Structure 1
């Protein structure tokens, strides 16, 4: 692997550039991460001084002695969910194609760890892609002031990102269940602080209200197979005839538990997941789910980030990727 020149040199700090230019470090940060927020003259002054001092960043024009353009970090909530592996494959392919180094970090579903990693990496990498972040909008914006940042499956004012329309797919799933005769449907919620869970729940609740379906919410669960089993026990107590899970990991964990409890799927209970991860098509029974193109999202997010390296336009935008319902054997008509 080719190592960027800046990796073997002392890294010039923003403070040093600020002192040389006679401006505040925050002004340097704005100029290098969001040039639209400083005057053209100030941008030219700061970038010229930064290059003179040896500051190396993918935001600055390439130098002949650079061995590679820089490093992009991919931050994921965990590495146990196959959906995140799909995102990684897509992102890694685009990063490698652009001759960048790839740094991957799992925050293990820990909000403090995520915040710590983001703040530290913002000063050591050239750009960051964050998938399903848990930290608040203010923290994300402060990180983006230091290093260009693109989000996956999160909308935050002032930041760019790629969002997969799984909420629309789940609304479609609820409509499908209602068409099968189900009028009492449970939704097993995802982790606290998950923007993705919030928008998925809002879409399902809106569809339920429009169709006069009774929606029962169940818990808050980290997406693991054991938590899916725990959620299955709670679902049985709701007496719902159909259930939608926050994602496939929870749903697949629940399928095994339903079998242990003697609950027939889909005879007694129809089950729907989300993301269409590897394994959902050969679970027992095969899982009806919302197909979510994680690999495409990873590619699109990296393309968006690299595009920001080569242009002074730092205006935010959200690109949407469609999702759709994939019907398999875990759902069926309401049994009399």
Structure 2
């Protein structure tokens, strides 16, 4: 009998020896059970379960070219916005009998490239959230392995994106209805696709509504980016500050509180993403929400379906109005 206390992993050879069959028979019983008789299959599977055997995914990939593993790369693993994305992707990967590997790019193309190079031989495909690689680099990657993008568009690649453009329209219309005529956008990472989309839509809808808007930044899309963003935004004289994401917006709220600037009585604040915590910061944050969990599940579905032409999917957004927005303050002397 095998010693159950030993620490090394149980191998296929161990299972075969314990079951009294050839290694090839044990392999077929576990990976292609239709090729062995029922009695042998059940015996080998029972032995494997008793010994705690776990198949080596990389070894299994040699004849099939598939490892059963997927990788999702996110720009900031500490951002609650990515929690739902990862949770949805992991649940769908598990339902498809795949394993999901998570990597944090820290928003940098160099680290993103390093992760991709390291994982390329071990996974069946990549899910890339807010990738900072160039279009050409992503197209080259897609020629080697299946790739699905989230919140990024590249010609010829499958992608999902939340509808930041419509979310931005909702922000402008909401603030206009509250009497705001001067807005400031507190920008996120320079060169980011989502940042560009949000600014484009905000500026277009502000112009259409006869509202002035200025772009400030870029700022780190984190709580720590909030103080500088708040100070710069206030200096513009805008009555509403629109932050690139909720982390930045909550950092702005903290700074405004430190400076004794009342929100929304003196200035309104809006974010994007509706992260965990947006509804219990003080004041609660008005923000654009999207179906992030669903997006994670859909990323896996699109990757594994491998449809041609590659789908380009836009997910709806809606504005959650909370306590950080209110009527524009009366002009001095008004």
Which TM-score applies when normalising by structure 2? 0.80
**Do the aligned partners of residues 119 and 315 (structure 1) sit closer, same or farther apart at CA in structure 2, a change above 3 Å counting?**
farther
Secondary structure, aligned partner of 2:77: coil
Query: Which residue matches 1:95?
Result: 93
CA distance in 2, matches of 1:3, 1:299: 26
After superposition, residues 1-336 of structure 1 pair within 5 angstroms as: 5-8=56-59, 54-57=63-66, 70-308=68-306, 313-336=307-330
**Do the aligned partners of residues 326 and 2 (structure 1) sit closer, same or farther apart at CA in structure 2, a change above 3 Å counting?**
farther
Indicate the RMSD between aligned Cα atoms, in angstroms.
1.6
Secondary structure, aligned partner of 1:130: strand
Query: Which residue matches 2:12?
Result: none
Q: Which has the higher contact order (CA 8 A, sep 6+)?
A: 1
Query: Which residue matches 1:66?
Result: none
Return the offset for 1:102: 1.1
CA distance in 2, matches of 1:3, 1:258: 54
Return the offset for 1:198: 0.6
**Do the aligned partners of residues 78 and 284 (structure 1) sit closer, same or farther apart at CA in structure 2, a change above 3 Å counting?**
same
Residue 115 of structure 1 contacts residue 139 of structure 1 at CA under 8 Å; is this kept in 2? Answer: no
Return the offset for 1:223: 1.2
Secondary structure, aligned partner of 2:329: coil
**Do the aligned partners of residues 3 and 274 (structure 1) sit closer, same or farther apart at CA in structure 2, a change above 3 Å counting?**
farther
CA distance in 1, matches of 2:171, 2:273: 12
CA distance in 2, matches of 1:225, 1:212: 32
**Do the aligned partners of residues 247 and 4 (structure 1) sit closer, same or farther apart at CA in structure 2, a change above 3 Å counting?**
farther
CA distance in 2, matches of 1:316, 1:130: 15
CA distance in 2, matches of 1:252, 1:334: 20
CA distance in 2, matches of 1:216, 1:91: 37
Return the offset for 1:193: 2.2
Return the offset for 1:236: 1.1
Residue 6 of structure 1 contacts residue 56 of structure 1 at CA under 8 Å; is this kept in 2? Answer: no
Return the offset for 1:170: 1.6
Query: Which residue matches 1:29?
Result: none
CA distance in 2, matches of 1:2, 1:315: 41
Q: Which runs of 4+ in 1 moved over 4 A?
A: 1-6
Larger radius of gyration: 2
1:188-237 superposed Cα distances (whole Å, 9 cap, x missing partner):
00101210111111110110110111101110012110101221111111
1:154-199 superposed Cα distances (whole Å, 9 cap, x missing partner):
1100100111112211221111101111111000001012101111
Secondary structure, aligned partner of 1:280: coil
Structure 2: 5+ residue stretches without partners: 1-51
Which TM-score applies when normalising by structure 1? 0.80
Return the offset for 1:55: 4.7
Count of equivalent residues? 279
CA distance in 2, matches of 1:259, 1:72: 43
1:6-29 superposed Cα distances (whole Å, 9 cap, x missing partner):
4136x76xxxxxxxxxxxxxxxxx
